[in-house]
Amino acid sequence: MKKLLRWLMALAVAMVAFVGVAAQPVHATDDSLAKIKAKGTLVMGTSPDYAPYEFLVNKNGKNQVVGIDVEIAKKIASDLGVKLVVKQMDFDSLLVGLETHKVDMVLSAMTPTSARKQSVDFSQIYYTASQDIIVNKADAKLYKNAESFVGKKVGAQTGSMQADLVKQKMTDSKLLGLTKVTDLILALKSHKVEGVVAEHPVAQAYVDHDKQLAIVKSGWTLDPESNGQAIGFAKGSDTLVAAANKSINEIKKQGLIKSYTKTACDYMTKNTANTSMFHYWKFFAKGVEYTLLITAVSVVFGVLIGTLMALMRLGKNKILHTIAVAYIEFVRGTPLMIQVMFVYFGIGLFVDVPALTAGIIAVSLNSAAYVAEIIRSGIDSIPTGQTEAARSLGLSTRQTMTSVVLPQAIRNIWPALGNEFISLIKESSIVSIIGVTDLIYQLKVVQTATYKGVAPIFVAMVIYFVLTFTLSKILGHFERKMQHD
């Protein structure tokens, strides 16, 4: 009887606990605003390649995100009495950023489509722009409106509402999707596409800065619900959304968007006053700094972890061997890009890793798998007689490895290791997708800032070549030195 009672008690306790846990999310919706106020910062995620909404300017040698969306975000932050923090990301990564709480809100000229509404909450619409099609000025006479593009290729930003519009309204045109507007403009100029669909202010900005471009009106009349721009929030942030809506109401009532647009355009003219690549050397320098930093740190950790993995794989311990094999095969069997996103967004769910750290971790872990295989092949290439001779002299397993086998193995694999280091310089560029300001990222920043497509690419290409060529010369020097021994 007593036993039964105890049982029932335990059951009751468990049920109360369960209900408590289950009820938690309901409570959580209410504290989204309170949380922001408590931490004192409001983090805005944006993809700053969409002037005049969001773009980068160089202020005292530092990248700064400015634009209409940033002005709106500032207003919301000051209404809440908190500090605004701007985080840069690829447009495609923004919603993931919300879900994983890397950012509190997304302002990136984003349209609240029904597909997006399923995974995030939106504020009311704060701005509605008409859609334009950017064309080469020489061809401007050929096109009257969107219907003139039958059978032609048209470009739009991947994942954007413009891409959806092309799919829905320009069924007889082919869509080319690229992540960056700057790349789309390049595609236009090289006749990969005949038109680029963009919002009016964006199209106007490009045409103002490039005499070879012209605007064709799309002629679409669009439902503001599917055309306007709104602020994205994580699901269930009702209180925060309400606060944002209040600020947007004020912005509308006071007609603030106009002054925000003016501020943005002032930045743009200042930004593009001097578009020579030399003027932007600091951007490139910063890119080189980050690219080298990521590569150097990743080489060190890659070699350390890689050596450990190689030894584990070659060792007698079955468990360690299996771990090493699984690790190596898994990392080599998945793309670096996904690994970078996984570390940043996936691990980021549990601990907040800054983008740079996440990038370095991902690239290091990736490199380690390749280095492990190189080192293993190097160790395998040393005849067993070397090990036997060392062991017969009384050297321990460890001494044999460090004094006899590894020095010879490294000499054998030096060229392969060198290749790995060189390719690391190039492959580390993938971290730009999570907003790490490496050379590729900075290249895009300069493209956006200067409205020049090719020149920054050329500069970045030359820089990459100088980096890899110098490294390969240095490695060659060491290789020759080792061979002389």
Partner 1 sequence: MTKPLIQINHLVKKFGDNVVLNDITETINQGDVIVVIGASGGGKSTFLRSLNLLNQPTSGEIEFEGTNLVGLSEKELDKVREKMGMVFQQFNLFPNMTVLENIKLAPMKVKNQDDAAATKKAHELLTQVGLDDKADAYPTSLSGGQMQRVAIARALAMEPDVMLFDEPTSALDPEMVGEVLKVMQDLAKSGMTMVIVTHEMGFAREAADQVWFMDQGVIAEKGEPEQIFTAPKHDRTKDFLSKVLAQ
Which residues contribute to the site for partner 1 (CB under 8 A)?
383, 385-386, 388-397, 399, 403-404, 407-408, 411, 485
**Which of residues 173 and 400 has its CB atom nearest to partner 1 in the complex?**
400
3-state secondary structure of 268: helix
**Which of residues 171 and 384 has its CB atom nearest to partner 1 in the complex?**
384
Is the torsion defined by CA of 146, 148, 151, 152 positive or negative?
negative
State the minimum distance, in angstroms, from the CB of residue 86 to partner 1. Answer: 54
Is the torsion defined by CA of 182, 183, 185, 186 positive or negative?
positive
The C-alpha R_g of the chain, in whole angstroms, comes to 28
**Which of residues 27 and 316 has its CB atom nearest to partner 1 in the complex?**
316
**Which of residues 2 and 484 has its CB atom nearest to partner 1 in the complex?**
484
Encoded tokens for 17: 């606990």
**Which of residues 251 and 409 has its CB atom nearest to partner 1 in the complex?**
409
Q: How far apart are alpha carbons 251 and 53 in whole angstroms? A: 16
173 burial level (CB within 10 Å; 0-12, 13-18, 19+): buried
Q: 182 near 47, Cβ under 8 Å?
A: no
479 burial level (CB within 10 Å; 0-12, 13-18, 19+): middle
**Which of residues 178 and 404 has its CB atom nearest to partner 1 in the complex?**
404
With CA atoms as reference, report the closest residue to 49 among 155, 232, 178, 190: 178
Residue given tokens 């600020």 in the structure block: 247
* 331 C-beta neighbours (distance < 10 Å), count: 19
State the minimum distance, in angstroms, from the CB of residue 479 to partner 1. Answer: 14
State the minimum distance, in angstroms, from the CB of residue 484 to partner 1. Answer: 10
**Which of residues 61 and 385 has its CB atom nearest to partner 1 in the complex?**
385
With CA atoms as reference, report the closest residue to 127 among 106, 109, 108, 104: 109
State the minimum distance, in angstroms, from the CB of residue 405 to partner 1. Answer: 10
With CA atoms as reference, report the closest residue to 427 among 467, 457, 485, 398: 467
Q: How far apart are alpha carbons 126 and 105 in whole angstroms? A: 14
**Which of residues 134 and 404 has its CB atom nearest to partner 1 in the complex?**
404
State the minimum distance, in angstroms, from the CB of residue 419 to partner 1. Answer: 22
**Which of residues 212 and 397 has its CB atom nearest to partner 1 in the complex?**
397
State the minimum distance, in angstroms, from the CB of residue 305 to partner 1. Answer: 25
3-state secondary structure of 150: coil
**Which of residues 248 and 311 has its CB atom nearest to partner 1 in the complex?**
311
State the minimum distance, in angstroms, from the CB of residue 93 to partner 1. Answer: 48
State the minimum distance, in angstroms, from the CB of residue 396 to partner 1. Answer: 5
State the minimum distance, in angstroms, from the CB of residue 392 to partner 1. Answer: 4
Backbone dihedral angles phi then psi of residue 357, each to the nearest 5 degrees: -60, -45
Encoded tokens for 143: 């096109």
**Which of residues 223 and 485 has its CB atom nearest to partner 1 in the complex?**
485
Q: In what order do the strands lie in the sheet with 232-234?
A: 83-88, 41-46, 105-106, 232-234, 120-122
3-state secondary structure of 65: strand
State the minimum distance, in angstroms, from the CB of residue 379 to partner 1. Answer: 14
Check residue 104 and report its DSSP letter: S
In Å, how far are 41, 106, 132, 329 from 54, measured between CA atoms? Answer: 20, 12, 18, 41
With CA atoms as reference, report the closest residue to 241 among 72, 76, 470: 76
State the minimum distance, in angstroms, from the CB of residue 404 to partner 1. Answer: 6
The H or E element that residue 248 is part of is: helix 238-253
